[in-house]
Amino acid sequence: MKKMKSSVVALAMSLGVVGAVQATDLTIATVNNGHMVEMQKHSSSFEAANPDINLKWVTLEESALRQRVTTDIATKGGQFDVMTIGMYEAPIWGAKGWLEELTFSDAYDIDDVLPAMRGGLSVGDKLYAAPFYGESSMIMYRKDLVAAAGMTIEDNPSWGHIRDVAAAINSPEDGVYGICLRGKPGWGDNMAFLTTMANSFGARWFDEDWKPQLDQPAWAHAVTFYIDLLTKYGPPGSSSNSFNEILALYNEGKCGMWIDATIAASFVTDPKQSKVADQVAFAQSPVAVTNRGANWLWAWSLAVPAGTQKSAEAQKFIEWATSKEYIELVAKAKGWGSVPTGTRTSTYNNPKFQNAAVFADAELKAILSADPDNSTLEPTPYTGVQFAAIPEFQAIGVAVGQQISAALAGKLTVEKALEQAQKAADREMRKARYYK
Amino acid sequence: MNLTLSQRKKVSTWSLGLLSWIVALVIFFPILWMVMTSFKTELQAISTPPLFMWEPTLENFSVVQERSDYFKYAMNSVITSFGATFLALLIAVPAAYSMAFSPSKRTKDILLWMLSTKMLPAVGVLMPIYLLAQSTGLLDNVFSLIIIFTMINLPIIMWMLFTYFKEIPKDILEACRMDGASTFAELRYIVMPLSWGGIASTGLLSIVLCWNEAFWSINLTAADAGTLTALIASYSSPEGLFWAKLSAASTLACAPIVVFGWFCQKQLVQGLTFGAVK
Amino acid sequence: MNSRIAKLLQAPSIILLFLWMIVPLGMTLYFSVVRYNLLSPGPLEFDGFSNYAFFITDSAFLPALINTLILVGSILIITVVMGLALALLINRPFFGRGIVRVMMISPFFIMPTVNALIWKNMLMNPVYGIFSVIAIAFGAEPIDWLSEMPLLSIIIMVSWQWTPFALLIFITSLQSQDTEQQEAAQLDGASSWAIFKYLTLPHLARPIAVVIMIQTIFHLSIFAEIFVTTGGGPGYDSTNLAFLIFSQALLQFDVGVASAGGVIAIILANIVAFFLIRAVGKNLMVQS
């Protein structure tokens, strides 16, 4: 018995000793998008440069990742050392003190990070998440179809013009629909797009007293226009389409126009996955009464949960993954057309990138024109372009999105849908005690 | 046309066989389509009209293998589903046996109550369980998954075993008891062999349910204990085209359980012919 | 076997399940009466029944309740009838029966998320899905399944997955049916229908009861298929209770309201189970 005890002690000691020289494990939770998958592939070069750090990956689809990391950070579960979060979570979690402030060395050149991105991921002047890749939204249209109809699309066209173009190129008998837009209910699905559209029609989510504004005429105008447009010139099944469904339609040559994330540009211009790769042109998002908030702003970014024992190592990794050097590393391996975009000025200034990415200018212009702090015609108490950065927004966005998609499917009138949406939003805000 | 009885029987067997094949192909088609898609490129996968003839590629499978350690996930799936099934059968066989052969007034209520423990929606108790697992240090641990899988499937297993045991004719048992066999001997030599088919199909069911369990296996794991459903979650719905790669990942994730099911088929039929003696 | 041994044998499962039930249930009951949102941490204040009130007064609540019952009811009918028909169809030996059986059972092995993605993207999509291609080939207008008939689409997906379960249970049971009795009846000139009605169906009574009970439990909480395909929409057309609770728990992270929803779901499930037991329960206890 004694012998066994001592051998257990010896074993424990030897484990302890081994642990001291052994590498620190960093567990990284990330979303399964292409750029992150690429990062995982290159992580061996980080490990080679930092032999004391060992990376472990948890890659999940967006919704699973979101519920996973939120559960973990809110319960202080401590399962992850680095978390991939969006521009929606960063300011909320930062303000709650759930994230560590990020401080980088001078070589990181923080001023090179696009100001809109940096602003959207900070609270005050404290940076809580570093952008890994960012995006805005813009029009991606088929120049062959638009030209054949004898029309053009300029930057920031009016929504009326977009409707005319859609009408002119819509030809379902040839399998081409005038315009494809998101319709699947969800705060990050149809509501992300529809919020930018509503912004440009002069709408806002909340007034200065946090009262939901869905019962205001601007929302009714925007939603009526959206449903009319998609019903007449959109593909069937729009009310269950989101980014991926439309991407598949677009790459098969079935959409004349598509207004969505700028990241789509790299997919639709890739001949390996798009049949219309050389027929795509870009323009800035359409507007109605204002340019404000007409295109969204989003960044997938890396953050460190507060209270982790491995903060130094985690920050070191984030510094590497969001650095200029990392972008060059990807460029060397896969070409400049495949680097993560939307984060650094230096990327867009690079002539090699400009050559490789036909969408570079349009994307930069869209990102630069988005301002989360000033995205509506009338003043609001919230930040965010296509969302309001408050914890209640996810549930509100889902409830409203369901009503809009019902109206799109022809099951409700726009008035009824918005009336119920307003009611649902009001309930959530009341429960969260924004007002009595 | 005059056919003899045996001829008519032959025709009807033949045509029913044909019908079975057609129905089976229709039912199986979505899976076949998934497997076919896994051998296409992403562009071919979204092609309209759908491609039925194309040059197959193994690209998707190599991408999946390169990106994630398939065998680690598969191993976790095997450990959790077989572990939980074994544990659950170990607890449930004696219990179901005693409920089936010496039921009390409360047996029916107990069975119903057991089933009602499954009615608590998983998502509603995520926070309590997460906090419990965290405080016991069992987050991201296959052991906690085994326990949870055992518990969530135990009621189902109890029910199925109970019904299979009920099917054993009572007179056989009574004869056996007259001979003075012990409870254990009765269970070991009479009940188990007679209901082997039932136990096997219950076990198969439990393994399948564990294998496909997604909620707990995604929400309680991180880098170490993820099962194949977590692997699927890393291929479903990324930005960009994903059907071909998802199909490849799904084919890989479902293949072991389908092959296993195929082997069990034979076991089941054999077991059942044993069980048919009456 | 004396009753002491009987109790001893049953004890482990009962005790374990009791613990498994009581701990989370206790916590759920507690959370359901306090104000507890993960995203706005603070002391848990007692909040009476306001979480329940909030959940019940949601305008999605009634549609969700009805959809839940429609889903359970229709899927039960479809899977039991189809399962029976298929089990009888492949009960006699024919060429390649083993393969046919495996093919028919395999949908049950497919993960629900994958099932939903296959049906949504590759089969039901109105533009490039196989169904629309078939519809066009026959000169018909393709159906926009998920927008026009969201609930039916979900029912089809889930039935496709669960019919094999019923089938598996039924063939296992059919194999143990007394074939001599059937042959005797056949020689006496009994019709196939009479044999089915008076011999096969009574023999299958208990398996049918089990299939119904077990499936009810699973279908009361259908979630993955809805989340992946329709997101509960359009409107509330495919929202069920499980989806509603999910949106409280993992979108809103309101543990209080989600727990209240959970308690309501348990109550509902028990009501359903009570009626089910009265309907099919007597089959369970009969000794053969």
Please report the pLDDT score of residue B124 as a whole number.
Answer: 74
Higher pLDDT, A326 or B42: A326
B111 & B185 share domain: yes
Counting as low any pLDDT under 70, the low residues of chain A are 1-22
Averaged pLDDT for residues B181-198:
77
A417 contacts in chain C (CB < 8 Å): 235
Secondary structure of A37-50 as H, E, C letters: HHHHHHHHHHHHHC
Provide the CA C75 distance to its chain's centre, in angstroms.
Answer: 7
- Chain B adjacent subunits, 3+ CB pairs under 8 A: A, C
B120 & B205 share domain: yes
Q: How many domains does chain B have?
A: 2
Give A212-240 pLDDT, tens digit per residue: 999 999 999 999 999 999 999 999 889 88
Please tell me if residue C131 touches chain A, with a CB cutoff of 8 Å: no
Write the residue in A237, A240, A424 that is nearest to C59 by C-beta: A424
The partner residues of A130 in beta bridges, in order of sequence, read A302
Asked if C128's CB is within 8 angstroms of B124's CB, the reply is: no
Please report the pLDDT score of residue A318 as a whole number.
Answer: 96
- The reply to whether B22 falls in a domain is no
B190 & B266 share domain: no
- The reply to whether B24 falls in a domain is no
Residue range(s) defining the domain that contains residue B242:
31-67+235-273
Rounded-to-integer distance, Cα C84 and Cα C100, Å: 15
Higher pLDDT, B194 or C81: C81
Rounded-to-integer distance, Cα A291 and Cα A272, Å: 35
B83 & B218 share domain: yes
Please report the pLDDT score of residue A110 as a whole number.
Answer: 93
- Chain A adjacent subunits, 3+ CB pairs under 8 A: B, C
Asked if A399's CB is within 8 angstroms of C37's CB, the reply is: no
CB atoms near residue A103 (< 10 Å): 11
Q: Is the pLDDT of residue B271 over 50?
A: no
Averaged pLDDT for residues C240-269:
84
Confidence of residue C229 (pLDDT cuts 50, 70, 90): confident
B51 & B155 share domain: no
- Note the ipTM here: 0.85
SS3 (DSSP) at B239 = coil
Please report the pLDDT score of residue A13 as a whole number.
Answer: 46
Do B124 and C262 contact (CB within 8 A), yes or no?
Answer: yes
Pair of tokens at residue B138: 């069992």
B92 & B214 share domain: yes
Pair of tokens at residue B19: 């019908």
Averaged pLDDT for residues B268-277:
46
B257 & B175 share domain: no
- Contacts (Cβ under 8 Å, ≥6 apart) of B77: B211, B227, B228, B229, B253, B256
B109 & B145 share domain: yes
- The reply to whether B10 falls in a domain is no
Angle between helix axes C201-219 and C61-89 (nearest 10 degrees) is 150
B129 & B217 share domain: yes
Give C123-175 pLDDT, tens digit per residue: 888 877 888 888 888 888 888 888 888 999 999 999 999 999 899 888 877 87
- The reply to whether B25 falls in a domain is no
Is the four-CA dihedral A154, A156, A160, A166 of positive or negative sign? positive
The letter for the amino acid at A216 is Q
Asked if B239's CB is within 8 angstroms of A244's CB, the reply is: yes
Residues of chain C with pLDDT > 70: what percent?
95
Please tell me if residue A423 touches chain C, with a CB cutoff of 8 Å: yes
Give B70-107 pLDDT, tens digit per residue: 999 999 999 999 999 999 999 999 888 888 887 787 88
Do C239 and C226 contact (CB within 8 A), yes or no?
Answer: yes
Please report the pLDDT score of residue C283 as a whole number.
Answer: 65
Please report the pLDDT score of residue C223 as a whole number.
Answer: 85
The CATH number assigned to the domain holding B194 equals: 1.10.3720.10
Asked if C206's CB is within 8 angstroms of B163's CB, the reply is: yes
Pair of tokens at residue A342: 């939307």
- The reply to whether B99 falls in a domain is yes
Give C82-106 pLDDT, tens digit per residue: 999 999 898 888 888 888 988 898 8
Asked if C17's CB is within 8 angstroms of B155's CB, the reply is: yes
A61 contacts in chain B (CB < 8 Å): 233-238
B217 & B245 share domain: no
Q: Among the listed ranges A350-354, A404-408, B188-192, B256-260, which one has the minimum average pLDDT value? A: B188-192
- The reply to whether B225 falls in a domain is yes
- Could you give all domains of chain C from N- to C-terminal order, each with its CATH number? 50-285 (1.10.3720.10)
- Could you give all domains of chain A from N- to C-terminal order, each with its CATH number? 16-134+297-356 (3.40.190.10), 137-296+379-431 (3.40.190.10)
Rounded-to-integer distance, Cα B125 and Cα B137, Å: 18
Supply the mean pLDDT for chain B: 83
Averaged pLDDT for residues C68-80:
94
Rounded-to-integer distance, Cα B57 and Cα B138, Å: 41
B52 & B127 share domain: no
- The reply to whether B268 falls in a domain is yes
Is the four-CA dihedral B76, B79, B82, B85 of positive or negative sign? negative
- The reply to whether B172 falls in a domain is yes
Provide the CA C114 distance to its chain's centre, in angstroms.
Answer: 17
B81 & B216 share domain: yes
Q: Is the pLDDT of residue B270 over 70?
A: no
